[in-house]
Structure 1
Amino acid sequence: MTLPRILVLATGGTIAGEAGDAMRHDYRPGQVGIEHYLNEAAGLGVAAQFTGRQIANIGSEDIDASIWSRLHTEIDSAMRDDSVDAVIVTHGTDTAEETAFLLDLTLPSTKPVVLVGAMRPTDAVGYDGMRNFANAVRVAGDQNAAGRGVLVVMGDRVHSARDVRKAQTRATEAFRGFPRESVAIVTPSRLDWFGAPWRVDDHALLKFLPLPEVPILAIYAGMSAAEAARQLAHNPPGIAVSGVGEGNMPDPVRQVLLEHARRGALVVRASRTDEGLVDRLPSDDPDGFVAARALGVPKARLLTALLIANGITDPAEAQRYFDGR
């Protein structure tokens, strides 16, 4: 049997964390280096030819543009490297959905790219990281994984980057997907896909470019125009609105956002609720607003920033990207 040749890019997170005590709740993320980790995986029989590179060793709350840039460069190079069959990124769970989505938008789909993490550190009772990693290897090594964009493997489930989100703070089944709950079920010995690959083209949707700062305006009951204006006083090029319900906001706040849309800012209405579509309203056309559709707030913010970086600021054109591929 020919073993898959997998490049593993490590960024830290709980999957490489240590508590120093199997019963402790608190721990330090990003303590175990990738070479040690891959040796442990090989010793447990995880079958692949691994090449490991340490990109960072941090908690994913500290992920930043420099790490994203290096990840993108490494994976983009691997796409053209005949000695690499697939890429796995070990990553903290807090911002895994954002990293996966950014890479999904800016990379071709010619080879599998899989993000994997853990909810418990390496020395905790019931450590889930090695099983998740073995599952990720099963997915990355499968010939049917290509053409599905970036995937996230957690808790025996495979999620697409566009759908996935962290929905719980502690449980090992912490990730969910919307509108697709998951695209496959996986164990270290078996993988079952729920449908055919959906990335029929292999090119990137958008170019990976330095991202402008796009703030999230968190809406709450009774929010005043003065508070919204204060938060947006620096006139950002784009605004992701974490709206109530279906991306709604108090009318005084709406008036502030109208002013920003009229000066050319890309204003995107998303929802603070757990899941659901944010459809376009009749008023969105005259207002110049964009509806986030199925994207939650963090991903709506990322896509808004990436569109602006690529020179796409017309609301109608931006809406086509939020409507999906």
Structure 2
Amino acid sequence: MSICLFNRRETREGRLPRIKVLAVGGTIAGKGTDGSRTTQYEAGVIGIESLLEVVPQLETLAEIGSAQIANIPSFAMTGRLLLELAARVNEELAGNTCDGIVVTHGTDTLEETAYFLHLTVKSRKPVVVTGAMRPATALSADGPLNLYNAVALAASRSAEGRGVLITLNDAIGSARDMSKRHTTTADAFGQRDFGLLGWIVDGVPRFYYESVRRHTWQSEFDVGGLRSLPRVDMLYGHGDGGRELVEAAVAAGAGGIVHAGMGNGGMYPDTRDALAAAAASGVVVVSASRTGSGVVTAKPADRLSRFVTPDNLNPHKARVLLSLALTRTRDPDLIQTMFDTY
């Protein structure tokens, strides 16, 4: 274990770090009818300039630039917008006028976007994704401090080379492992199988651990020039399952299916038969778990059907990786290697 602690007013060649804030919307940009509304509000209505004005202390941390990429609730996120965001992040970081990126995002799909960037950003510079669990109009809005902490983290040299990071409620997590675990509480995000990477205390990042899986500049995935992502559907396993949803996904043109199975990837027999038939037709099937924790291991029937196992990725992050894997190959063996690597 190593501890990394840096002063909040780090400089680059005698100047403050230059941080670009890219806004996508979400609860952090949400507005309710009164201050007591913490769950009933409209997400993605306040612009990034207004959010920045509420936190003038950012000027002590960095030179701030900003851009409004979108202003939507994150349950409306699309593959096209993911590609646009990744392209913009890579463009900003490729030059010498940006030292780090902060993405403000809705929490519903924040972890998927962060993991997508974790696999597609081609830079060692810090990229930090943040959001809020309460709208900007709430009496106890968490967005301003989350934004302050995100800028402090992106401005810190201690965040370089660690892949895409997520910070909310003072916690620092890896985009690969941090997930939303509660519907409404401010302490909604955490890491399922492993501890947090660190904490932000009084605006100062403190790192204790790091993720060792491949990411960012080490990644083989290059989405430059892509206009869309392969279709990957996700199905939830349950008793009394059937074939119909699997067959509908195949008919709709899915190149991959992630099955969130029971326990260690368990599948209802009829569902398994349909997934095996889909795999035989060239659809890549990932056998994940709905439990939310633990490694999924391949059973003999999985190997026979050439199902891919996702290691300990949850189903929705497995879907992100599978969609990127399908831009490179449809060979389940090669895709299994990717899941073992990332």
Give the match for residue 236 of structure 1.
254
1:9 aligns with 2:22: yes
SS of the equivalent of 1:70 reads: helix
Shift of 1:30: 1.4
How far did residue 175 of structure 1 move?
0.7
Does residue 206 of structure 1 match 2:221?
A: yes
Q: How many residues align?
A: 324
Q: Which whole-Å deviations, capped at 9, do the CAs of 1:58-109 have from their partners, x for residues lacking one?
A: 1111111232122111111112111100000000000001101111111124
| Cα contact 2:118–2:215 (8 A) shared by 1 | no
Retained in 2: the 8 A contact 1:246–1:278?
yes
Does 2:237 align with 1:219? Answer: yes
Matched, 1:106 2:120: yes
Root-mean-square deviation (Å): 1.9
Q: In the alignment, which residue of structure 1 is the partner of 2:305? A: 287
- Alignment match of 1:120 (pick from 131, 134, 150): 134
Q: Does 1:30 align with 2:44?
A: yes
1:278 aligns with 2:296: yes
1:186-223 CA-partner distances (Å, limit 9, x unpaired):
13432210135746983433122321111112211111
- Check whether the contact 1:144–1:197 (CA below 8 A) recurs between aligned residues: no
| TM-score, normalising length: structure 2 | 0.89
Distance in 2, matches of 1:285 and 1:265, equals 15
Aligned equivalent of 2:183, options 132, 157, 169? 169
Matches within 5 A, 1:1-325: 2-24=15-37, 25-42=39-56, 47-195=61-209, 198=212, 202-208=217-223, 209=226, 210-234=228-252, 236-310=254-328, 312-325=329-342
Q: The residue matched to 2:300 in structure 1 has which SS?
A: coil
Q: Separation in 1 of the partners of 2:32 and 2:60?
A: 24
Which has the bigger relative contact order, CA under 8 A and spacing at least 6? 2
Gaps of 5+ in 2: 1-10
Compared with structure 1, are the counterparts of its residues 213 and 231 closer, same or farther at alpha carbon in structure 2 (3 Å cutoff)?
closer
| Contact 1:120–1:127 (Cα < 8 Å) also in 2 | yes
Percent identity at matched positions? 36
Cα offset, 1:17, TM superposition: 0.9
CA contact (8 A) 1:307 1:318 kept: yes
| Cα deviation code 1:281-305 (max 9, x no counterpart) | 2333221100111111111111111
State the one-letter code of the partner of 1:205.
E
2: CA distance, partners of 1:201 / 1:67: 19
Give TM-score, length-normalised by structure 1.
Answer: 0.94
Verify the 8 A CA contact 1:240 1:301 in the aligned structure 2.
yes
Judged with a 3 Å threshold, the aligned counterparts in structure 2 of structure 1 residues 59 and 215 are, in CA distance, closer, same or farther, namely same
Following superposition, the deviation at residue 22 of structure 1 comes to 0.3
- Measured in 1, the distance between the counterparts of 2:60 and 2:316 equals 33
Contact 1:147–1:200 (CA under 8 A) maintained in structure 2: no
Deviations 1:236-268 (A, max 9, x none): 221111111111101221111111111111110
CA deviation after TM superposition for structure 1 residue 124, in Å: 0.5
Return the letter of the residue paired with 1:6: I
Contact 2:119/2:216, CA 8 A, preserved across alignment: no
Distance 1:234 1:74, change over 3 A: closer
Q: Structure 1 205/188 Cα, relative in aligned 2: closer, same or farther at 3 Å?
A: farther
AA of the residue aligned to 1:324: T
**Contact 2:118–2:216 at 8 Å: present in 1 too?**
no
* Contact residue 107 and residue 203 of structure 1 kept, 8 A: no
2:73 partner amino acid: G
Please state whether the residue corresponding to 2:46 is helix, strand or coil.
Answer: coil
| Partner residue in 1 for 2:8 | none
Tell me if structure 2 keeps the 8 A contact 1:136–1:153. Answer: yes
Corresponding residue of 2:4 = none
Q: Which moved more, 1:6-15 or 1:183-192?
A: 183-192
Once the two structures are TM-superposed, the CA of residue 227 in structure 1 deviates from its matched residue by 4.9
Cα distance, 1:45 vs structure 2: 6.0
Q: Is the 8 A contact 2:130 2:168 kept in 1?
A: yes
Unaligned ranges ≥5, structure 1: none
Moved more, 186-195 or 19-28: 186-195
| Cα distance in 1, alignment partners of residues 296 and 220 from structure 2 | 22
